[in-house]
A and B are shown apart, each in its own frame.
Chain A
C-alpha cells in the first residue's frame, strides 16, 4: 500500500550537473527525495555556465545558476559529487545499484580559493572552459563562477618542480598529490540522465576548413569571446591576432540537418546566431554582417526577435548553405554559397566567420554500456520506468525546454521512487 504522505523510500540519482540536472535534482529534493547529483567536470553549471547570455531573457548565466546553487547549498537532501562519472548500473526500477567513479581533483575541501597555488604554479594548459582560446595555470579555479568553489589540478601537465611549488604554496594542506580515483556505490530508486551535449566538432566539416584560419570560430567560442569572464574580457576580437573584426558572417546549419554529420536540427543555433548578432551590434554598431542559412527557425515566441534584426540594413541574409571557405592572406576568410533566391554564387569576405554548430549528445557510445536505450542520433530515450532522460540528453533544446523536461523527469523519478 502506498501512503503518499509517508517519507520517500528511494533516492534519485541525477547524472549531469548542467541546467537540466540542477533543475531535476532540486525539484526532486525539494519535495523531500534524497538526491545524488553527479557531475564529471570539476564544477556545476554545464554549458549554460559558458554562455554570455541565454534565452529567454538574455540573462548572464550567473543569474539563473546562482539561484540554483543557493538552493543546493540550503538543501541537505542533495549530495553533490563533482569529477564523478557513472561506471555501471545494475538492478531495476526502484532498486538500482550504481557504481560511481570519483576522479582525483588533487585538491581537498580545505581549499579556500586563496590563489597562492596559482601564483606558484609554473605550467600552463589550454583553457578548456574557453575552448583553448587562452591559457590557464594547471592548478586553477575552473572558472570565475565555479561551484563548488574549489580549485582543480591538472597533475599530468605539471613538472615535479611545479608540483612541489604548489604544495609548498598551500598553507591549508588542501593539495593532495596522492589522491586516487575511487569508486562508490549508491542505491537509488531511479536515475535521471541529464548528460547534456557537446558542441559538434567543426573539424569534421571538411569543406568549411575550420583549422585553415583563426577567423573561423564556432558559436560556442563566440559566447566565450563575448563573455566578460572570457579570454578577451568580453571584447569580440579575432583569436590569434586580436584584431577588431570589421565584418562578420554566420554559417547556419554547420553540420546540422546533415546526414554526414548531425542528421537533426539542433533547434537552438538560429536563435543563438541572432543573439550573437546582438552581441556584435553592441560593440560594432555598423559592421556588416552576413547570415547564410537554409531556413531560419525561430521557435516559440522569437519571431519578433528575427523581425527586429531583419530591419538592420547592415545585415545581409543569404538563403544558401556555405559549402566552401577560403582562408585569405590578410587574415580574413571568404565564404562561398549559392544564393538560392537569385540562383547565383554568393561570396562574403569577412574578418570573422562563426560556424553555428549544433548539439551532439554528450553520452554517445557510453550509453549502451550503461543499459540505456538511445535513438539513432544517440539521444537517450526514456524507456524503462526509473531510467529517465532530461534536457539535451533527450533532445536538442534551449534552456527553457530543458528546465521543463527536467521538472517532468523529476516528477517521474519521484513516482518511480514511491511505488
Chain B
C-alpha cells in the first residue's frame, strides 16, 4: 500500500451493501478487534477488518474475489465485540449475497432472486410451468381409487407412459441447469480469486484427482463435521439446526434419486414398481426420518434467526429468510401431502403435492443465486484456501 493506490469507489455497490444488511458498515473505524476475535481467521491477512475498509471504499472487484468473504460463517463474534456496532458479520453476509448475484448465470435470473419484491414472480414461474403441464396432461382432476402421486400428471399410465415422465422432464433439466449455473459461477469466482494471488510462477497445476483429494474432499469433511461452525462463539447454537438439515438434505437427495430410478425408470417396464414405497421400505424410513430432520433443523434455524434479529435489533432480509422459508416449504408440503394421502383426503393431497413440486422446483432453480448457494461457493472457497496454502501456489525453494 506504501506505493499508494487509487481508490475508485463503486457507490452503487456501497449503497447495495447498506441496503442488504450492511447498513452499519460506515461506523467501522478500523480498530481490528474483529480480526482477532474471529475464531475462523488466521494469522496471515486475517479478516474481516480488511473487508470492512474495502467495503467502505466500494472495492467491489476485490471483495467478490476474496475467499475470506466466503470462509466467514457469520459466527457473530466480530459483531458482538465490535466497539462501534458496525456488525462486520452482517457486512460480509451482504457481500456474499452480492457475490451470488454477481456470479449468477444467467444474470436476469440471478437478479430476480436478489430481491424480496420478486418473490411472487419466483413463485409464479414454477406454478405456471407445473400448472400448465398438469392441465395439458389431463391429470388435473381427482382420479378414482387410491391416491398415487405417481399418476399426478394423468392416470393414463399404461396408455401413455410419457405422462409419468413429465415430472422427470421438468425436474431433471432444471437440476442440470442449476448445476451448470453453479459451474459457471464458481469457475468465475475461482478465476477471480486466483488472479488476486501474488504474481509468482505457479509451480504446477493440480490434476483433477489431486484437486478433489487434496482440496475438495478435506473441505467437504470439514463441512460435514461442522468443524468451523463449532469454533464459532456467539452463534454456536446454529450447529444444532444446521447439522440435521445438511444430513437431511443429502438423505432426501438420495431417496429422491432412488425413487425416481425405481418408479419412473424401472417402473416403466416392471409392473408394480410404480407405486408408493411401503412404510417398511428402508428408503421410505430414511425419507421420513430425513423429512422430519429437515423440518426440525430448519425450524431451529428459524427460531435462532428470529431471536438474534430481535436481540441485535437487525432488520430481517430476504436473503436470510428465503432459504429458511423455501426449505420449510419443501419439508412441510412434502410431509403434509403424505399425511393427506394416508388420510385419503384426495383434494388436499393433490393440492399439497402440487405445492410441494412448486417449492422443490424453486429449490432447484434458485439455489445458485440465493443464500443456499453457499453450499457450493463456500466449499470451493475452502478448497481455494487450502490450495492457496499448498505447494501449488507457495513458492518452493
Contact = CB atoms under 8 A, between A and B. Distances in A.
Contacts of B82: 259
Contact of A294 (B31, B36, B50): B31
A258 B31 CA distance: 10
B46 interface: yes
A158 B44 CA distance: 57
Contacts of B44: 344-345
B85 A207 contact: no
Contacts of A324: 36-37
Interface in A218-234: none
A341 B85 CA distance: 22
Nearest to B42: A345
B146 interface: no
7 contacts: A257-B31, A257-B83, A258-B83, A259-B82, A323-B32, A323-B33, A343-B50
Interface in B296-339: none
A340 B43 contact: no
B127 interface: no
B36 A344 contact: no
Contact of B32 (A207, A260, A340): A340
A345 B83 contact: no
Interface string A254-265: 000111110000
A15 to B, nearest CB: 32
A345 B33 CA distance: 11
Contact of B36 (A260, A295, A345): A345
A337 B81 contact: no
Interface string B72-103: 00000000011111000000000000000000
A345 B81 contact: no
Contacts of B34: 323
Given A294-B31, A344-B44, A344-B46, A336 B83 contact: no
Interface string B204-228: 0000000000000000000000000
B83 A340 contact: no
B43 A294 contact: no
Contacts of A323: 32-37, 81
Interface of B: 1, 29-37, 42-46, 49-50, 81-85
A259 B36 contact: no
A150 interface: no
Given A207-B81, A336-B36, A320 B45 contact: no
Contacts of A320: 31-32
A345 B41 CA distance: 10
Interface in A337-369: 337-341, 343-345
Contacts of A261: 83
A275 interface: no
Given A294-B31, A338-B36, A343-B50, A259 B83 contact: yes
Nearest to B1: A341
Contact of A207 (B31, B35, B37, B84): B37
B81 A340 contact: no
Contact of A338 (B29, B32, B83, B84): B32
Given A323-B37, A324-B36, A345-B46, 16 more contacts: A258-B83, A258-B84, A259-B82, A295-B29, A320-B32, A321-B31, A321-B32, A321-B33, A322-B36, A323-B33, A338-B36, A338-B49, A340-B30, A344-B43, A344-B46, A345-B43
A257 B42 CA distance: 26
A339 B36 CA distance: 10
Interface string A300-339: 0000000000000000000011111000000000001111
Given A323-B36, A338-B32, A338-B35, A343 B45 contact: yes
A253 interface: yes
Contacts of B35: 323, 338, 345
A233 B83 CA distance: 37
Nearest to B80: A260
A253 B29 CA distance: 13
Interface in A238-263: 253, 257-261
Interface of A: 207, 253, 257-261, 294-295, 320-324, 336-341, 343-345
Q: Most chain-A Cβ atoms within 10 A of its Cβ — which of B36, B44, B85?
A: B36
Contacts of B31: 253, 257, 294, 320-321
Nearest to B27: A259
A143 B151 CA distance: 94
A344 B50 CA distance: 10
A323 B33 CA distance: 5
The majority secondary structure among interface residues of chain A is loop
A279 B330 CA distance: 68
B269 to A, nearest CB: 63
Contacts of A337: 32, 36
A261 B49 CA distance: 20
Contacts of A294: 29-31
B39 to A, nearest CB: 11
> Which 3 A-B pairs give the minimum distances between C-beta atoms?
A258-B83, A323-B36, A338-B32
Nearest to B44: A344
B312 to A, nearest CB: 12
B344 to A, nearest CB: 59
Q: Most chain-A Cβ atoms within 10 A of its Cβ — which of B34, B50, B83?
A: B83
Q: Most chain-B Cβ atoms within 10 A of its Cβ — which of A336, A343, A344?
A: A343
B32 A259 contact: no
B73 to A, nearest CB: 19
Nearest to A323: B36
Nearest to A253: B31
Contacts of B42: 345
Nearest to B50: A343
A341 B36 CA distance: 15
Q: Most chain-A Cβ atoms within 10 A of its Cβ — which of B32, B35, B37, B82?
A: B32
Contacts of B85: 259
A320 B46 CA distance: 12
A207 B46 CA distance: 18
Contacts of B29: 257, 294-295
A345 B36 CA distance: 8
Nearest to A261: B83
A343 B47 CA distance: 9
Given A258-B83, A321-B33, A324-B37, A340 B49 contact: yes
B68 to A, nearest CB: 11
A338 B32 CA distance: 6
Contacts of A345: 35-36, 42-44, 46
Contacts of B49: 338, 340
A294 B81 CA distance: 15
A133 to B, nearest CB: 28
B192 to A, nearest CB: 19
A259 B43 contact: no
Contacts of A336: 36
B183 to A, nearest CB: 32
A321 B28 CA distance: 13
A87 to B, nearest CB: 37
A257 B27 CA distance: 12
A48 B199 CA distance: 57
A243 to B, nearest CB: 27
Contacts of B45: 343-344
A320 B35 CA distance: 10
B294 to A, nearest CB: 37
Contact of B84 (A259, A322, A344): A259
